[in-house]
Each structure stands twice: as C-alpha cells, then as structure tokens.
Amino acid sequence: MDDQTTYRIRIDLAYDGTPYHGWATQPGLPTVQEAVETGLATILRQPLSVTVAGRTDAGVHAANQVIHCDIPQTPWQRLVGNRPTRRPEEALVSKLNGVLARESGAIRILSAQIVPEGFDARFSPLSRQYRYRINNGTPDPLTRHFTYQHRRPLNFEAMAEEIADIQGLYDFGSFCKPRSGATTVRTLHRFDLDVTQELTTVWLAADAFCHHMVRALVGALVQVGDGTRPCGWLQDRLANPVRDSHMMLAPALGLILDTVTYPNNDEVEQRAQQTRARRDPTCLPCD
C-alpha cells in the first residue's frame, strides 16, 4: 500500500439536536456536521469532510445517524498511537468521543468500521425510520427537549384510523417543501402509533424522506387528532397532492431519527447506483 491508499469509514452516532442549528454546516452557527468534522480534524491532524445519511433540521435529534468519510492510510494507522494491539476503529471512537465531550457533550459516537468503497451513507440506505414523541400527560421538564406537548386533547383512535394501512408508493407533494425539479414520490414502509398513558410515539419509515415530510405528516395527523381538521383530511391530501399554505409542521424538538437500514456490504454500491439513477439528489436529505 502507498500513502494514497484510503479507507472508507462508516461512523454511527447519536446526538441531542437542541444546541445545534441542524446537521449541515452554516457560517457562524453551531451545527452537528461542524462539530463532527472539527473533531475528526483534531484527532487525524488534517481536515476531513463527511457524507451523512440525512440532514436533520435545527432541533431534530438522532438515536442512530450514519456518516461516511475517506481516511488516508497514514492518519488511520496513526490513531492507535503507542498501543499497537488496539484497532484503529476503537481508537477513533474513543478519541472522537473525548473531543466531542469537551465541545458540548450532545454528540456521541456509537461505532466505526471499515466498509466497501462503494458504501454511501446517503445513497445506499434501504430505509430511514423516524419516531415523533408527543406527551399525553403533565408536561415533564426532564424530557422537554425531545418531547412535544400539544396543548389540546388528542383523539388517538381517530389518529390511528386516519393512518391505518397507509403504506406504499405515494406522491407526498402536500407534505414536502418544494424543491425545483425534484420528485416528491416516496415509498412509505411504516406509519403508525404507539400510545401509552403518558406518551404517544408516531413511527414513520420510508425509503427516503423529502424536506419537512416527516414533520408535515405528523402535523397533519395532530390536526386530525385535535379536531382542527376532519377525519380523512390527511388521507385526502395524500390522494390529491397539492402545495399550499395548509401544511403545518410539527415542532422539531419531538422528532428523532431512529435508524438507517442498509443492505449487505456486497450490495451497498449497487443500491447507491440505483438510488442516484432513480431520484434527483436535491430532494434526498431527510427531514
């Protein structure tokens, strides 16, 4: 191997989005991407850019986000320092967590691994799953940063009926922020509720999500649940997609990127090629 050899590294991470202005780097504002790339540059002693599975909005959290980056052989092997029995993957997780803990403590690296060169955090996923938390009871100050407290009572039976059997291929034009030339067609794998006495969790999974799609779907469901909109309103907007001012976004703080699912390593490159060919990439970032 020569000095030009690089390793493609998949990094799984979780974060509390409260102190950040979303994932993507913005001049003069703290973002998750900036914090992670700065941390990587610190431990690798050189600048590095990463590719993310989904660019979350300001205030949105992640239980399992995925990124990839290409690290040259020399800084990769240098991560082990004077502990040659240690794997570089383990050293990266430990050192990067140490740097991020000093930055805010709101980001945690879960794992790192070498993956095939064709792996693409953004284009290789089979699906992304989100959960949205709604507090049903007394507001809890300990969970206020990642749970939405709706001020009006919600009819959970009506909400469950509204989204029953909503799966498959749809045009989500009523629930997406428009982007010039980009498709709003997506395949929805899951849209359901878990209801307990204190908490309702809305689950959504799809092959990908357009910008604001998750929060707009939850916002429409909440409007049906509190009686602002009649039963069937969400389904009608799904059957007859329109872009209008009736789209209401649920607050960002209740939204958590739960999981990103990938095919086996021998299939990730083909999956990425299929995704690029099928969709305009300007609409691929998650909500």
The CATH number of whichever domain residue 45 belongs to comes to: 3.30.70.580
Which residues, 6+ apart, have CB-to-CB distance to 206 below 8 Å? 127, 128, 186, 187, 188, 189, 190, 213
Coil vs helix vs strand at 9: strand
Percent of the chain past pLDDT 90, that is, above it, reads 83
The answer to whether the pTM exceeds 0.85 is yes
Would you call 165 a catalytic residue per the annotation? no
| Digit-coded pLDDT (tens) for 1-53 | 455 799 999 999 999 999 999 999 999 999 999 999 999 999 999 999 999 99
| Digit-coded pLDDT (tens) for 239-269 | 999 888 888 999 999 999 999 999 999 999 9
- For residue 119, being part of any structural domain is answered with no
Q: Which of the following is catalytic: 57, 120, 258, 287? A: 57
State whether 136 and 256 are in the same domain: yes
**Positions of E strands within the chain:** 6-15, 51-52, 61-72, 107-114, 127-135, 148-149, 168-171, 185-195, 199-206, 255-261
- What pLDDT, on the 0 to 100 scale, is given for residue 285? 43
State whether 106 and 167 are in the same domain: no
Domain at 175, CATH number: 3.30.70.660
Q: Rounded mean pLDDT of the chain? A: 92
Residue 199 has pLDDT above 80, yes or no: yes
Cα–Cα distance, 52 to 55 (Å, whole number): 7
| Cα 230 to Cα 159, 170, 195, 221, distances in angstroms | 11, 21, 21, 10
**136 or 257, which is more confident?**
257
State whether 253 and 133 are in the same domain: yes
**275 or 218, which is more confident?**
218
- For residue 176, being part of any structural domain is answered with yes
Domain that holds residue 20: 6-114
| Digit-coded pLDDT (tens) for 43-86 | 999 999 999 999 999 999 999 999 999 999 999 999 998 887 78
State whether 248 and 155 are in the same domain: yes
Confidence of residue 284 (pLDDT cuts 50, 70, 90): very low
